[in-house]
Chain A
Amino acid sequence: MATIEHILIHSDRDILLARQKGRAMGMLAGFVSTDLTLIATAISELARNILLYAREGEVELHLIQEDRRNGMVIIARDQGPGIHDVERAMQDGFSTSGGLGLGLPGVKRLMDSFELISVPGRGTTVQISKWLHK
């Protein structure tokens, strides 16, 4: 089974493709339908941020196993302008694009782990993961 997927994000169609592939991989991992929706939604938000702020980038999906437990790691990466004030970006209600300003803190709440690395002028990488609870 495919354990890594790369989806290049160039247009809104790619957002759809990324979340569909994410859902399919989540199904392989054994996630229930609620978790699949959480995962697909998180991917959708991150992929849209790429399109909105960096215009292009990629989403990487990993199916992983640790201590016989299945999980998924999702990495959204771009070489866009980066986030200047990460702390502020992680506050509910903050956005620089006139959006809802709920993006990143919301995504964090959907997943089990959330890591954000951003270098102004160089780009942003967000890594999130979800584990199968048994």
Chain B
Amino acid sequence: MDVPVLKQGQYLIATVQSALTDADLAQLRHSLVEQVGRFRSRGVIVDVTAVDVLDSFACRTLRDIAHMAGFRGAETVIVGIHPDLAFTMVRLGLSLEGVSTALDLEEGLAFLDKETRRPGRRALHSGAAMPHPEPRKPRGNH
């Protein structure tokens, strides 16, 4: 099941709407990292409010998304980890080390607004490491 990704200004918002298979998660990772370049996004929000389980694989994939998007110059924030998931992750010994989280979509947007406004942030992440930026896509012919 594909996760819909909404482009909102400088941000990408991925809302997970049902339980995901490992392949779905890998697809989400691929598509977000690709779209950060295509839309020149500065921030990514992954909303996991509707997720039933965040096991070790899901956790690792979320970390990969955040780190890979980071290498591409976009800040990632995971939102909507409900109390049952948080409890289970702690028991299981999982962490989202190095990944920003926020309570919900609203807090996530506020966090990104604050983070992406910091001067020099994009250069820090993507400047020297990516000498060949993706060519700008044509804006469409209408």
Contact = CB atoms under 8 A, between A and B. Distances in A.
Interface residues of B, number: 22
7 contacts: A12-B22, A37-B52, A40-B53, A44-B55, A92-B93, A102-B94, A106-B93
Interface of A: 12-13, 15-16, 19-20, 23, 33-34, 36-38, 40-41, 44-45, 48, 92, 99-100, 102-103, 105-107, 109-110
B84 A33 contact: yes
Contacts of A19: 19, 52-53
Q: Is the interface of B mostly helix, strand, loop or mixed?
A: helix
Interface in B4-29: 19-23
Give the interface SS of chain A, mostly helix, strand, loop or mixed: helix
A110 B52 contact: no
B87 A37 contact: yes
Nearest to A106: B92
Which 3 residue pairs are nearest across A and B when measured between Cβ atoms?
A106-B92, A37-B84, A12-B22
A64 to B, nearest CB: 22
A103 B59 CA distance: 13
Given A15-B22, A37-B87, 20 more contacts: A12-B21, A13-B21, A19-B52, A33-B84, A34-B83, A37-B88, A38-B91, A40-B52, A41-B88, A45-B55, A45-B56, A45-B92, A102-B92, A102-B93, A103-B56, A106-B92, A106-B94, A109-B91, A110-B91, A110-B92
